[in-house]
């Protein structure tokens, strides 16, 4: 059953849907949950988000474009490139 464009499915335009790899991973054990997250500040697509100020941030894989600018921005090496595990994300382009 083709559900492309069907209301409530979250699938808006199947022709433009592509699979891509996001290889950045947040290492929660290294994250200090800084009040001002430098990695989030440098992220142009605002893919590094935080729900609570006391919690470590997370990477919104729907927004992340894998540019890797955030990796050197974190002074605690909390963001790293996954080498063995690859996460495929199906997203709209």
Query: Domain limits of the chain?
Result: 19-92
- In Å, the largest CA–CA distance within the chain is 49
**Continuous H helices in 17-80:** 38-42, 70-73
Q: pLDDT tens digit string along 61-76? A: 889 998 999 999 999 9
pLDDT at 59: 92
Sequence-distant (≥ 6) Cβ neighbours of residue 46 within 8 angstroms: 40, 60, 63
Burial 17-34 (b: 16+ CB within 10 A, else e): eeeeebebebeeeebeee
Q: Which CATH number fits domain 19-92: 3.40.50.280, 3.30.70.20, 3.40.50.300, 3.20.20.60?
A: 3.30.70.20
Q: pLDDT tens digit string along 29-48? A: 999 999 999 999 999 999 99
């Amino acid at each position: 059953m083709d559900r492309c464009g069907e209301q409530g499915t979250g699938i808006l335009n199947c022709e433009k849907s592509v699979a891509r790899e996001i290889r950045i991973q947040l290492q929660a054990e290294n994250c200090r949950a800084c009040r001002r997250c430098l990695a989030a500040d440098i992220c142009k697509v605002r893919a590094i988000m935080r729900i609570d100020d006391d919690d470590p941030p997370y990477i919104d894989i729907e927004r992340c474009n894998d540019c890797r600018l955030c990796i050197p921005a974190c002074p605690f090496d909390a963001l790293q490139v996954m080498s063995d595990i690859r996460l495929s994300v199906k997203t709209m382009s």
